[in-house]
Structure 1
Amino acid sequence: MVTVQIEELTPCRKRLRIEVSADEVTQVRKEVVGRFTQIARLPGYRPGKAPIPLVEKQFQKEIDEELQKMLVTRGLREAIQKQQIDVVRALGTEDARYLSGLSFSFAVLVDCAPAFTLPDYSATALPRTETEVSKEEVGQAVDKLLEARATFTDVPARPLSEGDYAVLRYEATIDGQRMKDVLPAAGILAGAEDQWLLVKPGVFVPGFTEGVLGMEIGQTRQISVRFPEDWFFEPLRGKTAEYSITLSALKERHIPSLSDDLAKEIAGTDQSGLLSMVQSAVETEKKRGARREQSNHILNSLLGSVEFPLPESLVEEETANAVREVVAENQERGIPLAVLEEKKGEIFSNARRLGAQRVKLRFLIDRIAKNESVTVSDEEFSRAVASLAHRQNLPPRQFIQRVPRESLEALKRQILLEKVMDFLIEKAKVASV
């Protein structure tokens, strides 16, 4: 039996002061000692036959540690059930001690689910979305396929023109010092050997491509460029750099024409079959895009229609996840860590906002799912796990063993979100007719 006192710290955080009765302490201790007696190996006694007083003396520290752990676990569980508290996370135990009469008391901080009134979600008006595919869109998709199979050839001696691919060697200086020395994090902005560059306005550093027009192979040219005030790499904002550029080679891109032979190479079919496949792929992507647009509209509507406090521990966890995602994404794009370090305040602020949105959305989706009896079946979860395992060439059972429990829980939440969104989109369509 436990007694509970609740201290309200914030709308979503409580301190529970819990006392476990002496009778329950005695009962739990008997269980713990009994388990130790069964496994204890003491000289002169077979396993399970050693006298209890001897076991208690030999394993006093271990018994006390296990007893306290079990009392905290059971006491917290019973307190939560008794007070009907919707705990989302236990944050730590405080002031654990035995009282006179050998009852056991402790305090624990918990974050709880927020109380809020669910907004009306039954008749969200969806924007119109176009999913029909035009000939132009199919043509653009085919062009991308052909461009991916482009070849490059050396261009006979002539001046560099817009649309060419230049192979350049260059180095930048600022105030007479090499940029790579004063700003090592600048990367290819500071200099490069055999750097391919599409000669087109707006590519690379502003004014750079315009400055190399007309160059000939082997020629070296000096140009001056000024970085914009809003340039992504803050140390270069508003700075003027002097570039020494040598044109090493000049390349022309050749895009193949569509033919039955090329269609067979790409997709194992003829031109007609390839065009049909491309149209189907474009249609599928447009439908996915339309659903994303509808989902975002509904989610933004939900998030903006109600405000409520959020459990701080969940917000902190999602903020950390968002920061890791931003860092990983920017590193994949080639942004140096030094640049990200300079922007850490901005990154954290944006991640904090995104983390809070994710937590808020989680509670909204869970409440809607409960209201509408939307659940994730074992079969649906198993299919999702099998799909992810297949992508990693692992058997599902091995995949589950390798993936952290938190990741599996996140997968289940994602499936639930998709099912709730399907329900809301269908509801919105019916309501808007």
Structure 2
Amino acid sequence: MNIVVEKQPKCVATLRVEIPAEQVSGERERIVAGYTSQAKIPGFRPGKAPRKVIEKRYEKEISEELRDRLMQEGCDEALRKESLKVLDFGVPESTEFTADGGFAFSTRILLAPEITLPEYKGITVKVPAAAVPDEELNKQLEGLRERFADFNTLEGRAIQTGDYAVIDYTSTTEGKPLEEFLGKSAGYLGGREGFWVRVNDESFLPGFAAQLVGLNTGDSKDVTVTIPDDFPLSDLRGKEVTFAVTVKEIKEAVLPELDDELAAKLAPGKTLEEIKTIIRDNMERERRRQIDDMKVNQIVEHFNSLVEFDVPEELLAHETQNQADAMVRQGIQSGLSEDEVAAQQTEIFENAGKQAKSNIKTNFILQEIARAENISVNDQELVNHLVAIANSRKQAPKKFIRDLQRSGRLPGIRNSMLVGKAIDYVVEQAKVEETDEPLVAEA
């Protein structure tokens, strides 16, 4: 068998295979023998029909099976002989039975990138301590008090920091109503009536609430803010927006005491100390999860900064679309309209492309580490994983697995499990340093 591989940039290669006549003939003999032993031909007992009858009756089926087997043998031999890491053999561009009885085909194949692994054991990662700081617990407890707050309407004094202002407002930018300027809905920025604003730095838009301090009920004021650069609506970033505000009411929050009575409202029969223990345990679980994510993210950044290689364009395009779709879904779930999402399409695809390339690079690096460390996912592990998923979705495991198999998704799931095992291995080998830095909440 003659095999020629011509490698090209971006993990693409052309494979040309020529199979000699004697190998073609031998394979055809085996196929015809199989049909002869199993075919049911009227007038002949099974296995007794003449060869010529069988060949004539099943000429098309024999030729198709022969072609498929020869191409499979050629691809298998190319893998062995050339030590290729093939992601996709593609669809053969040409196949032909030659005049001397041989067979030849060529196909465009997609190769895994060639990677030189950096040192992946003992990577230093820096994370906060796992213990929940008292100030974070106290902040959670304060949030519980605010949930059960009563609100008194204040008369005879101006707005102070910490108050709640109930306002009506409309908005303009560059002298035009905001929605006219944008040519589409501005959402909550366009205007509201009876809108509650907590007068502190974290409310609404940066710099907005501070300009309400000193106003009295019934007062009106133009409040101008500059939209931050990370604002979801890209058309407004860096723009000045003026809000015509009228104060309708000023309210003061009256917080309940942090005691067993409040605890009973949260969970009947529980004391305050029991509630604190439950909250701390939940916070510690979430904190450990976030710290684990930090370790993984730092390791991924470490790999991507040290290792550079071509990424298959087909995979990059597919993953970019997946990431863009996920970003759109996230934007809609966070309250963006379809028009707002459409306005950010260019930016979404740019960010999706960067994330896609990072994901693909990381995936290949971790697969290479798994190969180096003989990490694998056996059939029983795969089945147990799929059964757990099926049970969580209240589906019959056998049907669930069968459907995945028919749709060709099992290899991808196995690979995801393999990558997960590899990252777990690298994290276990990492050198962890605790820092005094606070744990930054996920966006």
Shift in Å, 1:134: 3.7
Q: Distance in 2 between matches of 1:234 and 1:7?
A: 46
Q: Distance in 2 between matches of 1:255 and 1:48?
A: 91
Q: Distance in 2 between matches of 1:179 and 1:282?
A: 41
Partner of 1:405: 410
1:20 alignment partner AA: I
Partner of 1:420: 425
Shift in Å, 1:16: 0.3
Shift in Å, 1:256: 4.4
Q: Distance in 2 between matches of 1:64 and 1:249?
A: 85
Q: Distance in 2 between matches of 1:225 and 1:344?
A: 28
Q: Distance in 2 between matches of 1:171 and 1:46?
A: 90
Summarize the Cα distance change of 1:401–1:286 in structure 2 as closer, same or farther, 3 Å threshold.
same
Summarize the Cα distance change of 1:277–1:114 in structure 2 as closer, same or farther, 3 Å threshold.
same
Q: Distance in 2 between matches of 1:304 and 1:319?
A: 20
Matched ranges for 1:8-407 at <5 A: 8-10=7-9, 12-26=11-25, 68-127=67-126, 129-147=128-146, 149-150=147-148, 153=151, 155=153, 162-166=161-165, 168-174=167-173, 177-183=176-182, 184-192=184-192, 195-201=195-201, 203-210=203-210, 219=218, 221=220, 223=222, 225-228=224-227, 230=229, 232=231, 233-245=233-245, 253=253, 255-260=255-260, 262-263=262-263, 266=266, 269-378=270-379, 380-382=381-383, 384-401=385-402, 404-405=409-410
Summarize the Cα distance change of 1:46–1:282 in structure 2 as closer, same or farther, 3 Å threshold.
same
Residue deviations 1:285-309, cap 9 Å, x none? 3333443333333333333333333
Residue deviations 1:151-175, cap 9 Å, x none? 5657366665544445555433446
Farther off after superposition, 331-340 or 49-58: 49-58
Residue deviations 1:401-422, cap 9 Å, x none? 5654365235413431343234
- Retained in 2: the 8 A contact 1:365–1:417? yes
TM-score scaled by length of structure 1: 0.77
Shift in Å, 1:85: 1.3
Shift in Å, 1:190: 1.9
Question: Could you tell me the percent identity over the aligned residues?
Answer: 28
- Retained in 2: the 8 A contact 1:89–1:313? no
Shift in Å, 1:380: 4.8
Q: Distance in 1 between matches of 2:41 and 2:251?
A: 83
Runs (5+) with no aligned partner, structure 2:
434-443
1:93 alignment partner AA: P
- Retained in 1: the 8 A contact 2:321–2:352? yes
2:288 alignment partner AA: K
Residue deviations 1:219-246, cap 9 Å, x none? 5846253534736323234545454455
SS at match of 2:270: coil
TM-score scaled by length of structure 2: 0.76
Shift in Å, 1:94: 1.3
Q: Distance in 2 between matches of 1:27 and 1:334?
A: 66
Summarize the Cα distance change of 1:345–1:61 in structure 2 as closer, same or farther, 3 Å threshold.
farther
Q: Distance in 1 between matches of 2:248 and 2:104?
A: 78
- Retained in 1: the 8 A contact 2:235–2:343? no
Q: Distance in 2 between matches of 1:45 and 1:69?
A: 29
1:281 alignment partner AA: N
Shift in Å, 1:77: 2.6
Farther off after superposition, 296-305 or 85-94: 296-305
Residue deviations 1:70-117, cap 9 Å, x none? 443343233223332111223432123333234332211222233333
Shift in Å, 1:322: 2.4
Summarize the Cα distance change of 1:252–1:100 in structure 2 as closer, same or farther, 3 Å threshold.
farther
Q: Distance in 2 between matches of 1:95 and 1:46?
A: 40
Q: Distance in 2 between matches of 1:156 and 1:292?
A: 46
- Retained in 2: the 8 A contact 1:114–1:310? yes
Runs (5+) with no aligned partner, structure 1:
none
Residue deviations 1:354-381, cap 9 Å, x none? 2222222223222333333333455554
Count residues with an aligned counterpart: 425
